[in-house]
Chains A and B, each alone.
Chain A
Amino acid sequence: SQQGEEDPQALSIQEGENATMNCSYKTSINNLQWYRQNSGRGLVHLILIRSNEREKHSGRLRVTLDTSKKSSSLLITASRAADTASYFCATGGAGSYQLTFGKGTKLSVIP
């Protein structure tokens, strides 16, 4: 069954604005990952946050994880047109090879 649910399903912002996407999941996890998918391309790994971490940064990306609420957020600051893509969260269990992906948030950044 599907683990992650992203919210919103679609988001449209102006270039330079910040974009926030949320992910909720149902069972306990070892880590949560965010991926980007440009139109017609494969998924690209962005960031991984472990269950014992609360916040992680990578360049313009900031990810938070709240295991008590079973939720995570991805913040993209100072967005660019090139950030236009679908963003997926994926959860991994301890010792599990399997990642379970959410349905994704489609982000459009308008120049």
Chain B
Amino acid sequence: DTAVSQTPKYLVTQMGNDKSIKCEQNLGHDTMYWYKQDSKKFLKIMFSYNNKELIINETVPNRFSPKSPDKAHLNLHINSLELGDSAVYFCASSPGPPGEQYFGPGTRLTVT
């Protein structure tokens, strides 16, 4: 059973398009996260939800909007994609602060 899953695994799209990445966890965790990993492997937190409430909202362009329909799902919608959005996006979940996090396999986004 996959603990944290993301779809799609690869996403290639053109500048200006709108796209979504979906994340699901079956671990029963209350907290979910979105991270961005750049080409230098630096991992930066973007958002976090706890029980469907936004608790971390780092400085990211407002073109990025997370949505948590329930505790097990956290989606990331990106409007008006730009070249600089190209990166690997990871979803993660954790049972609570400040414990270990469980990561999904990542979504490699390429904006052309």
Which of A18-26, A74-82, A93-101 lines the interface with chain B? Answer: A93-101
Tell me if B34 counts as interface (CB < 8 A to partner A). Answer: no
Contact A48 B100 (CB under 8 A): yes
Whether the Cβ atoms of A99 and B45 lie closer than 8 Å is yes
Interface size class of chain B, counting residues whose CB lies under 8 Å from the partner chain: 20 to 34
Tell me the bound Cα distance from A43 to B103 in angstroms.
6
> Inside 8 A of A95's CB, which chain B residues have their CB?
97-98
We find that the number of chain A residues with CB closer than 8 angstroms to chain B is 28
Q: B12 on the interface (CB 8 Å rule)? A: no
Give chain A nearest CB distance to B51 CB in angstroms.
11
Contact A103 B40 (CB under 8 A): yes
Residue of A nearest to B91 (CB): A42
Q: Which residues of A contact B56 (CB under 8 A)?
A: 97-98
Q: How many angstroms between the C-alpha atoms of A96 and B101 in the bound complex?
A: 13
Which of B42, B100, B106 touches A42 (beta carbons < 8 Å)? B106
Please give, as numbers and ranges, the residues of chain A lying within 8 Å of B50 by CB-CB distance: 97
Contacts of B102 in A (CB 8 A): 45
- Chain B residue with Cβ nearest A106: B41
Contact residue among A42, A99, A101, A104 (Cβ-Cβ distance under 8 Å from B98): A99
Instruction: Tell me, in angstroms, the Cα distance from A98 to B50 when the chains sit together.
Output: 11
Are A30 and B98 closer than 8 Å at their CB atoms?
A: yes
Q: CB-defined interface of A44-80 with B at 8 Å, one 1/0 digit per residue?
A: 1100100000000000000000000000000000000
Chain B 24-63: CB-based contact to A (< 8 A → 1; otherwise 0):
0000000100000000111111001010000110000000
Question: Known contacts being A31-B98, A92-B98, is A98 close to B45, with CB within 8 Å?
Answer: yes
Q: Can you give 14 A-B contacts (C-beta < 8 A)?
A: A33-B100, A35-B103, A42-B92, A43-B90, A45-B101, A92-B99, A96-B98, A97-B56, A97-B94, A97-B97, A98-B45, A98-B56, A103-B42, A104-B41
List chain B positions with a Cβ less than 8 A from chain A: 4, 31, 40-45, 48, 50, 55-56, 90, 92, 94, 96-106
Sort A-B residue pairs by CB-CB distance and give the 4 closest, nearest first.
A92-B98, A42-B103, A45-B100, A101-B43
